[in-house]
Amino acid sequence: MLPLEIPLFPLPNVVLFPAAFLPLHIFEHRYRAMVADALTSERLIGIVLLRPGWESDYEGRPAVYPIGCAGFITHDEPLEDGRYNIVLRGLEKFRILSELPSAGSNRPYRVAQVETMPETAPATDRDALRDQRLRLEKLIARRLQRPTDDSTIPPDMRDEDLVSALAQHLALDPIEKQALLERDGLLARCRSLVELIEMQMLVTHVTVTKIRH
């Protein structure tokens, strides 16, 4: 379970997933303060995606999607000029209930009251999840132009780690990644990820075919 209040780090094109790792370079003064405070407390930061149109109010409180993912700072590298290099490991999804007012606060960054959204993989999903994982591994092998039985994915890699790593690092639109994060559970996220990769490959195939003709 997450604390009732966590700092928010709104980003325009980054979505964090549970169990995934995210390296970040922290350079804005307000987020330097956020990291400094986090390092002296729970080491938690809530990553949320900015809604379209954020540019006009970036220095204020632009709108964010209500569901994000809290990350734990696993590595931190303070730099001489006050910047940081950090690595977050995704912990749990959360829903923003409300944001704390900034007036009277000595914190220059946003802080929200949140509710944890635990994700579990019921035993009844095991067979379906195994089937979806096999489809996912075959799709990745095709993308890498490898034989379908020559998987680069370690067989002992946990389903959650695999799905989160692919969702985190594949070249998907941020809105698509946000939709993946909001899916209800690992099986639903895996199914949606399979559909997105299949659609990407279909579009690429059609585009290449048109160019050749």
Handedness of CA 202, 203, 204, 207 (dihedral sign): positive
Q: In the prediction, which pLDDT does 120 show?
A: 81
Q: In the prediction, which pLDDT does 155 show?
A: 79
**pTM of this prediction?**
0.89
What CATH architecture does domain 5-117 belong to?
Roll (2.30)
Q: In the prediction, which pLDDT does 115 show?
A: 98
**Residues of the chain predicted below pLDDT 50:** 148-150, 205, 208
Q: Which long-range contacts (CB under 8 A, 24 or more apart) does 49-52 make?
A: 49/10, 49/11, 49/12, 49/13, 49/14, 49/15, 49/174, 49/177, 49/178, 50/10, 50/11, 50/12
* Distance, CA of 8 to CA of 47 (rounded, Å): 6
Query: What DSSP element (H or E) covers 10?
Result: strand 5-11
Structure tokens that stand for 145 in this block: 């132009």
Q: Which long-range contacts (CB under 8 A, 24 or more apart) does 104-109 make?
A: 107/7, 107/33, 107/34, 107/37, 108/29, 108/30, 108/33, 109/7, 109/8, 109/9, 109/30, 109/31, 109/33, 109/34
Q: DSSP readout, 160-194?
A: HHHHHHHHHHS---HHHHHHHHHSSSHHHHHHHHH
Domain boundaries, the chain: 5-117, 123-212
Q: In the prediction, which pLDDT does 145 show?
A: 67
Q: In the prediction, which pLDDT does 213 show?
A: 52
* Distance, CA of 85 to CA of 23 (rounded, Å): 7
* Distance, CA of 93 to CA of 48 (rounded, Å): 10
Q: In the prediction, which pLDDT does 146 show?
A: 55
Q: Phi, psi (5° rounding) for residue 127?
A: -65, -45
Q: In the prediction, which pLDDT does 140 show?
A: 87
Alpha-carbon 10 to chain mean position: 12
